[in-house]
Structure 1
Amino acid sequence: MSTVPDPFTGSYAPVGEEVTAFDLPVTGTIPAELNGRYLRNGPNGMRADDPRPRHLFAGYAMVHGVRLREGRARWYRNRMVRSAAVAEALGERPRPGASVRILDVAPNTHVIGHADRTFALVEGGFRPYELSYEIETVGATDFCGTLPDGFAAHPKLDPLSGELHAITWQRDSEVLRHLVLSPRGRVIRAVDVPLPHRPVVHDMALTRNHAVILDLSASVGTRGNRARRTYPAVWDESRTARIGLLPRDGTGVRWFDVDPCFVFHTLNAYEDGDRVVIDVVRYPRMFAGGAVHDQSSPTLDRWLVDTASGKVTETRLDDRPQEFPAVSPAVVGGAHRYGYSTVATGLLRHLAAADALDTLTPEAAGDALIKHDLGRQTSTVRHFGAGRHTGEVSFVPREGARAEDDGYLLAYVHDPERGASDLVVLSAEDFTGAPVATVHLPVRVPAGFHGSWIPDPV
């Protein structure tokens, strides 16, 4: 078997300079109500002598951000998150709370705002790093002394209560944990869920009454991964894949079996009487080894959990390869009609040179966006043009929104003619129309992972 190729090439090639630019040029008109920051996290390479697998999930974190205010693009910044290894490489002092152990995982997966603070996130037992408004690293955080150990990459914000929910896992533990943070940013509830194995859990979902746990067909493991320097997770079809419904009061999880699969990301979940609807991007196989032709393609699927009968019905909503599902934050935990995702053919091209399935990641650049109307069972595709690629979109509801899709979609789009990227603001209702605004950045934003629109405090 040949050596796994370097993942930090092509659209993932790192940028070598931290840049600050003010008063960015704009085509179109930025809506005056968009006052805040669009931030996105992702890997920006790693040192050649780093002992960990040379994998996108292990890359050093860089956050890219644009501040919008009163119809203007006030600034663009990109900053490396100063985990211990990054600070050492830059010749800087470690930030407060930074790990000095050899296993120092940069928080490169997501960036969110909560309790008027900004956090860069990663999973697997590692703490978030707090960032300043200007995305400088403050240090690792334990949420004012309330976080028992590590946090998660994909917490879910309840739009009704303002509480932040997370399912966490530790790389050396057979216990999942449901954490709830108050609107003030402190852990107010922690419920342990013991398991007979060490699961890999990237995301969760939330309903009005339950936290949805995904205990699927991937486990923490090193079967051949250490020598090949690939991601330390293994496909384990021998154990049952299942969905857990954990009541928000923590009074015991109920499990429902599903076919073997893996899910990086959920679209949303909600309750419909005795049924729970869970929409996900599902992979039939993941971290399984083997040749490129064995790689599985991610599709948008629906699990319909009948809590009365205990049965789960699976429906294919869209069979095109896609990733980064998103809904309006106003409907999280409740019924949704619309969803948005990124076409994943760029992902498949990124894998074309790879010889191992466990290099598969959902984080490659996409060629287009999809708007799903799940009520009418239709969809619309928006293309950005030849050579232009994008990633995840963030939905921002319009002030006084009249409908679920009354709002804006924000995403970074690479412009090959300029050799740089744009922040594109789309109308979610007029999905294929001309952009509402295009903010022209001075540099390229590499393909990356997840981001958020973080409005300014009122």
Structure 2
Amino acid sequence: MTIQTLPSGVMSTLQPTDHPFLNGPFRPMFNEYIADTDSLRVIGEIPRDLDGIFIRNTHNQIHQPLGMFHPFDGDGMLHAVHFHDGRATYRNRFVQTTGFLAEQAARRSLWAGLLEPEKASRRGSGAMGAMKDNAGTDIICHAGLLLATMSQGSEPWRLDPITLDTLGPDTNWARKIPDGISSHYKVDPETGEMMFFNYPEHWPYMHYGVIDRNNRLVHYVPVELPGARWPHDLGITRNYSILHDTPHFFDPELLKRGQHKMTFHPEMPARFGVIPRHGDGSQVRWFEAKACHILHLANCYEDGDEIVMDGCIMPEPKLHPVGAADGKDIYARIKARLDKHNNPTMMHRWRFNLRTGATTEQYLDDEITEFPVVSNDYVGRPYRYSYNVLYQPGEWLFRGLKRFDLHSGAVQRYEYGPGRYGSEPQVARRLGARDEDDGYVTVFVTDMNQDRSECLVLDARDISRGPLATIVLPERIPVGTHACWVEGDRIPGEHRDPAAWA
């Protein structure tokens, strides 16, 4: 196969700008490709026992922004590498949401962004009800189809996992959840069930639901919170889900006037709600912990009477004001808000005792890392390894990976090198794997030195060795964050042989 550049038909109205999140590693792209390893350069050798699809979502801005642009405002674009029998095929496609199609027809931006929602002139999506549903944050595969969403809550956008064609909102259950689905839904590897939540700015302020392995909505209940909140992730175990209510949310008095000012309340505890997988709001058991915010969890599991929750704690969120009114550099403040060296996040463990109601917690590491990832086969189960990103100081860029062995305490790291920036990694266990780390880690890297992007395949047992294979993509793609791995036998649906995850 030669490299095919598809006629995407995308019309862009972006004008030249000095905005750092529209240039350099964040420069949008508008071409869509199909290319395989007959035409792509491969450095090293792709393992023959690597079987599945590595997919990453990306915010890719198309039109001149309506107001100040935030890097989470752009339209979703998926980048995928399908591995099979030592070969690989790359594809990328826009997620063709209603907002994407409407703005293509209008040839301009129609919705305001995250920083200036008050400029919205039409109904929007997400918890704030003002933004375009860009489906640019999360991506996962469930019941044989991809699911792409924005972080605040959106339609459940379904796509074909192989072609990446947009199929529209899920036809089985999208209409049954009017407040949408937030990012960071979780799939149980054994039952094939998918657990999700949302957090609208109206009572009850949260809902929790379960989609079964056949893509049927089998559970959807209100979970009442004290007010509008801004959670980001959800945890699951074999029998429970863990919901988040942290003291980092919009000022309630200003919210009544339609103003969104995020405030951290250190005097309030963080609360974590443990709910039976098919339980209702009355069965939630709330556990208090020290004040913090959490973006992303590594994993959760049951240990006797306790629920263990591992993730990256943000112990003291700081918000650097964004706005040009006082003449300060607005771009610098956007960077400062995203820079994790200003808002440190470190691996942390919480234990919730279901018998006594007590919470205990401890730091697992003191280095700044985030986006912790574990093998799909160990989600909700006792596990040993987490693979986290390392941040470039002063930037919203990922400079490398860190592997945690949570049993021995040993760590490994692999850094991409100057001018090279990665994305969220994924763990791809090899065909016939028995051990948790018997396989590979995949990641996209954008190389600003050579003006190109690559898909790297690393040894999951020893990431410090560097890539076993490097696949050079047809065009430099913008940096992005969340990704997923779809095992080859999960592409058709959630009907795996139990031996694959036992």
Residue number among 36, 49, 72 corresponding to 2:52 in the alignment: 36
Q: Aligned pair in 2 of structure 1 residues 332, 88: CA closer, same or farther (>3 Å)?
A: same
Q: 2:143 is matched with which residue? A: 115
Distance 1:144 1:250, change over 3 A: closer
Quick check: 1:329 aligned with 2:360?
no
Contact 2:241–2:275 (8 Å) recurs in 1: yes
Q: Which of 393, 415, 418 is equivalent to 1:386?
A: 418
Figure out how many residues of one structure are paired with residues of the other and give that number: 431
- The offset of 1:40, in angstroms, is 0.5
Contact 1:125–1:171, Cα closer than 8 Å, also in 2: no
Distance 1:285 1:123, change over 3 A: same
After superposition, the Cα gap between the structure-2 partners of 1:136 and 1:216, relative to the gap in structure 1 and judged at 3 Å, is same
Residue 208 of structure 1 is aligned with which of 238, 245, 248? 238
**Structure 1 residue identity aligned to 2:432:** G
Contact 2:207 2:223 in 1 (8 A): yes
* Residues 62, 79 of structure 1: 8 Å contact kept: yes
Name the CA distance, whole Å, in 1 between partners of 2:312 and 2:215: 29
Structure 1 287/222 Cα, relative in aligned 2: closer, same or farther at 3 Å?
farther
SS at match of 2:61: coil
* Aligned residue runs from structure 1 range 256-271, under 5 A: 256-271=287-302
Residues 200-219 of structure 1 show CA distances to partners (whole Å, capped at 9, x for unaligned) of 12111111221011111222
Contact 1:411 1:425 in 2 (8 A): yes
How far apart are the structure 2 equivalents of 1:82 and 1:146? 18
User: In structure 2, how many angstroms separate the alpha carbons of the residues matched to 1:86 and 1:189?
Assistant: 30
Paired with 2:203 and 2:267, the residues of 1 have a C-alpha distance of 20
Note the 1:280-319 alignment, pairs <5 A. 280-286=311-317, 288-289=319-320, 292=336, 295-319=342-366
**Is the contact between residue 128 and residue 142 of structure 1 (CA under 8 Å) also seen in structure 2?**
no
Q: Paired residue for 1:128, among 109, 133, 156?
A: 156
Structure 1 distance, partners of 2:405, 2:426, is 17
Q: Which residue of structure 1 aligns with residue 478 of structure 2?
A: 446
- CA separation of 1:189 and 1:340: change in aligned 2, threshold 3 A: same
Distance of 2:146 and 2:181 partners within structure 1: 14
Q: Aligned to 2:411, what secondary structure does the other structure show? A: strand
CA deviation after TM superposition for structure 1 residue 432, in Å: 1.5
> What is the Cα deviation at residue 397 of structure 1?
1.4
Partner of 1:254: 285
Q: Distance in 2 between matches of 1:89 and 1:191?
A: 34
- Once the two structures are TM-superposed, the CA of residue 220 in structure 1 deviates from its matched residue by 4.2
- Deviation, structure 1 residue 224: 8.1
Shift in Å, 1:323: 1.0
Contact 1:44 1:61 (C-alpha < 8 Å) held by counterparts: yes
Q: From 238, 244, 264, give the equivalent of 2:273.
A: 244
The residue number in structure 2 matching 1:82 is: 96
Compute the displacement of 1:173 (Å): 4.1
CA contact (8 A) 2:153 2:183 kept: no
CA contact (8 A) 1:218 1:287 kept: no
**Aligned counterpart, 1:162:** 192
Deviations 1:220-263 (A, max 9, x none): 459889x9xx9864434454321111112315111111111111
The CA deviation at 1:37 is 2.2
Cα separation, 1, equivalents of 2:94 and 2:123: 19
Q: Which amino acid aligns with 1:80?
A: F
Match of 2:64 in 1: 48
Give the corresponding residue for 1:148: 177
1:106 counterpart (134, 141, 148) = 134
* Cα deviation 1:326-368 (Å, max 9, x = unaligned): 1111111111111110012x2x422xxxxxxxxxxxxx32111
Deviation of 1:169 after TM superposition, in Å, equals 1.6
Matched, 1:139 2:186: no
Match for residue 394 of structure 2? 349
Counterpart of 2:4? none
Tell me the equivalent position of 1:358: none
Amino acid at match of 2:224: P
Give the deviation of 1:195 after TM superposition: 0.9
Q: Could you say if the C-alpha distance between residues 388 and 297 of structure 1 is closer, same or farther in structure 2, counting changes exceeding 3 Å?
A: same
Q: Secondary structure at the match of 1:65?
A: strand
| 1:437 lines up with 2:451 in the alignment | no
Q: Secondary structure at the residue paired with 2:206?
A: strand
Distance between the aligned counterparts of 1:453 and 1:147, measured in 2? 28
Give the Cα–Cα distance (whole angstroms) in 2 for the partners of residues 186 and 232 of structure 1.
37
Mark the CA change 1:434 to 1:382 in structure 2 (over 3 Å): closer, same or farther.
closer
Q: CA RMSD in A?
A: 2.9
Distance in 1 between residues matched to 2:403 and 2:277, nearest whole Å: 31
Listed one character per residue, the Cα deviations across residues 173-194 of structure 1 (whole Å, up to 9, x for unaligned) are 4431221111111211112211
The residue that corresponds to 1:359 in the other structure is none
AA aligned to 1:262 is H
> How far did 1:49 drift?
4.3
Equivalent residue in structure 2 for 1:197, among 191, 203, 227: 227
- Is the contact made by 1:127 and 1:142 (CA closer than 8 Å) also made in structure 2? no
- Would you say 1:65 and 2:112 are equivalent positions? no
Instruction: Check whether the contact 1:122–1:128 (CA below 8 A) recurs between aligned residues.
Output: no
Shift of 1:445: 2.2
SS of residue in 1 equivalent to 2:389: strand
Percent identity of equivalent pairs: 31
Alignment correspondent of 1:353: none
Partners of 2:477 and 2:252 lie apart in 1 by 32
Residue pair 1:171, 1:220 contacting (<8 A) in 2 also: no
Deviations 1:296-327 (A, max 9, x none): 21111111223333222221111111111011
Query: Are the counterparts in 2 of residues 220 and 232 from structure 1 also a CA contact under 8 Å?
Result: yes
SS at match of 2:464: coil
- Structure 2: how far apart are the matches of 1:135 and 1:338? 30
Give the TM-score taking structure 2 as reference length: 0.79
Query: Does 121-130 or 416-425 show the bigger shift?
Result: 121-130
Q: Distance in 1 between matches of 2:79 and 2:72?
A: 17
Q: 2:306 aligns with which of 268, 275, 278?
A: 275
Measured after TM superposition, the shift of residue 437 of structure 1 is: 1.6
